Chains A and B, each alone.
Chain A
Amino acid sequence: MTETIKTDVVIVGAGPVGLFAVFELGLLDIRAHVVDILDRPGGQCAELYPEKPIYDIPGLPVVTGQELTDNLLEQIKPFGAQYHFSEIIAGLEKTEDDRFLLTTDAGTRFDAKVVVIAAGGGSFQPKKPPIDGVEAFEEKSVHYAVRKMDVFRGKRVLIVGGGDSALDWTLNLAPVAQRVTLMHRRDAFRAAPDSVNKMRKLVEEGVVDLALGQVTELIGEDGVLKAVKAKLVDGQTHEIATDAMLPFFGLTMKLGPIADWGLNLEENLIPVDTEKFETTTPGIFAIGDINAYPGKLKLILSGFHEAALMAQAAARRINPDRKVVFQYTTSSTSLQKKLGVA
Chain B
Amino acid sequence: MAKITYIDASGESRTVEAEVGATVMETAIRHDVPGIEAECGGACSCATCHVYVDAAWTETVGGPEPMEEDMLDFAYDVRPTSRLSCQIKVTPALDGLVVTTPDRQA
Residue from the set B47, B48, B106 with the largest chain A CB neighbour count within 10 Å: B106
**A48-B45, A49-B45 known; A127 vs B73 contact (CB < 8 Å):** no
Contact partners of A252 in chain B: CB under 8 A: 39, 46, 48, 106
The answer to whether B39 and A161 touch across the interface, beta carbons within 8 angstroms, is: no
Q: Interface digits, A234-254 against B, CB 8 Å rule (1 contact, 0 not)?
A: 000000000000000110110
Contact assessment for A49 and B43 in the assembled complex, using a CB-CB cutoff below 8 Å: yes
Residues of chain A in range 67-124 having any CB-CB distance to chain B below 8 Å: 121
Expressed in whole angstroms, the Cα–Cα distance for A326 and B46 within the complex equals 42
Q: How far is the CB of B89 from chain A (nearest CB, A)?
A: 17
Q: Which residues of B contact A163 (CB under 8 A)?
A: 70, 73
Contact, CB under 8 Å: A48 / B46:
yes
A214 touches B74 (CB 8 A): no
Give B48-74 as 1s and 0s: 1 = Cβ < 8 Å from A's Cβ atoms.
Answer: 100000000000000000000110011
- Which chain B residues lie closer than 8 Å to A184 at the CB level? 73
Chain A 166-209: CB-based contact to B (< 8 A → 1; otherwise 0): 00000000000000000011101010000000000000000000
Q: Are B78 and A185 in contact (CB under 8 A)?
A: yes
Chain B residues in 8 Å Cβ range of A130: 76-77, 104, 106
Chain B proximity of A301: nearest CB distance (Å): 15
Using A250-B74, A252-B39, A252-B106 as known contacts, say yes or no to A188 and B45 having CB atoms under 8 A apart: no
- Asked if B22 CB lies within 8 Å of chain A CBs, one says no
B40: Cβ under 8 A from any A Cβ: yes
* Given A49-B40, A127-B106, A190:B70 Cβ within 8 A: yes
Give every chain B residue within 8 A of A296 (Cβ-Cβ): none
> Which residues from chain B contact A214 at a C-beta distance below 8 Å?
77-78
Interface positions of A (Cβ within 8 A of B): 44, 48-49, 52, 121, 127, 130, 161-163, 184-186, 188, 190, 214, 249-250, 252-253
Mark B residues whose CB is within 8 Å of A.
Answer: 39-40, 43, 45-48, 69-70, 73-74, 76-78, 104, 106
